[in-house]
């Protein structure tokens, strides 16, 4: 009986695996079609100087809207795009779109544009050329572009770690800057800070305290800001949702903040409006909407 039960369970498990695999294949197929049909858009979220409140940068965040459906967030399709390799084409499209949208902002406002880059893209032999073409094609100067990578990028690019490092080193020599994203959520974080050619450190939103007056809760974010500052990295806090967060970060000497307090991700025209309003002096960023 035990044996039969075991076999049944195995068959159930096997059926579920096959269903999940079929689901994955369908998602990848729909992603491929969606890419061809132009179902993707890029939204922009402001990154604000904690002293003075200027919107100094935007992060490009991809969205997918299949016909007749609500927009789907990247957490639900980036993993499938990475597994299938589709992220290479999708990531290149996001990069070109973001450079094109941000090119007119830079000369007037000096705002940089941050683009997320997956380890799969960095493992492509022509990645640095793809970035250079996106810059030349859009007229965006290299200084205005930031590439966001995660701590695990060298591990996740596996045999391509050398290539990844070479791309980043070449692009930095051009003037492109590199940010480490979601800092503190990966592993061997401290060794990566030493080994990766980076300029900016983004502190993951999980470090934002529920209570900014609780010394226990603020100890970690304080330590990360101190560490980044001693390495001369620009610090950006993610997930700044409240005025208390912003006050704490200012006290700790964090340079920049990104989060709902300063603005949600939205289409390019809204980002341009935000810049215009800021320069106009009439609407301080973060006090615009509730």
User: Contact positions toward Mg ion, by CB under 5 A?
Assistant: 116, 148, 181-182, 204, 238
Q: Is 210 in the site for ligand C2E (CB under 6 A)?
A: no
Q: Looking at 205, 222, 229, 288, which residue binds ligand C2E (CB under 6 A)? A: 205
Nearest distance, CB of residue 17 and ligand C2E, angstroms: 26
143/241 with CB nearer ligand C2E:
241
| C-alpha to C-alpha distance for 189 and 164, rounded to whole angstroms | 17
Who's near 166: CB < 8 A, 6+ residues apart?
A: 128
Where are the alpha helices (H) located in the chain, listed in sequence order? Answer: 2-37, 78-84, 87-102, 105-109, 119-122, 127-138, 153-156, 161-174, 189-195, 215-230, 243-252, 268-280
Selection from Mg ion, ligand C2E, none that 119 binds (CB < 5 to 8 A by kind) is none
Q: Looking at 39, 181, 235, 254, which residue binds ligand C2E (CB under 6 A)? A: 181
SS3 257: strand
Q: Is 91 in the site for ligand C2E (CB under 6 A)?
A: yes
Nearest distance, CB of residue 101 and ligand C2E, angstroms: 13
179, 198 in Cβ contact below 8 A? yes
Concatenate the DSSP letters of all residues of 100-137 into one string. HHHTTHHHHH--EEEEE--HHHHTSTTHHHHHHHHHHH
87/279 with CB nearer ligand C2E:
87
54/80 with CB nearer ligand C2E:
80
The residue ranges that bind ligand C2E (CB under 6 A) are: 45, 61-62, 73-75, 78, 87, 91, 94, 116, 118, 148, 181-182, 205, 238-241, 258-260, 265
């Amino acid at each position: 009986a035990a044996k039969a039960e075991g076999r049944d369970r195995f068959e159930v498990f096997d059926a579920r695996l096959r269903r999940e695999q079929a689901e994955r294949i369908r998602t990848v197929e729909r992603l491929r079609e969606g890419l061809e049909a132009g179902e993707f858009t890029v939204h922009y979220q402001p990154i604000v100087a904690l002293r003075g409140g200027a919107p100094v940068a935007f992060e490009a965040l991809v969205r997918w809207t299949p016909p007749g459906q609500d927009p789907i967030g990247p957490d639900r399709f980036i993993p499938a795009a990475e597994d299938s390799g589709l992220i290479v084409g999708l990531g290149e499209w996001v990069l070109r779109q973001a450079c094109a949208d941000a090119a007119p902002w830079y000369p007037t406002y000096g705002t940089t544009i941050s683009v997320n880059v997956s380890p799969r893209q960095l493992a492509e032999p022509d990645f640095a050329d793809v970035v250079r073409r996106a810059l030349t094609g859009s007229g965006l100067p290299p200084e205005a572009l930031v590439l966001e990578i995660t701590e695990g990028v060298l591990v996740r690019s596996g045999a391509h770690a050398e290539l990844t490092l070479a791309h980043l080193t070449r692009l930095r020599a051009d003037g492109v800057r590199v940010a480490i994203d979601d800092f503190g959520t990966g592993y061997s974080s401290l060794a990566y800070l030493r080994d990766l050619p980076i300029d900016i450190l983004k502190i993951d939103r999980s470090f934002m305290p529920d209570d900014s007056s609780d010394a226990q809760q603020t100890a970690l974010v304080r330590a990360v800001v101190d560490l980044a500052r001693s390495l001369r990295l620009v610090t950006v806090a993610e997930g700044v949702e409240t005025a208390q967060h912003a006050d704490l970060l200012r006290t700790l000497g964090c340079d920049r903040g990104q989060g709902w307090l300063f603005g949600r991700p939205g289409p390019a025209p809204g980002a341009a409006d935000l810049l215009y309003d800021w320069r106009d002096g009439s609407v301080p960023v973060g006090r615009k909407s509730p």
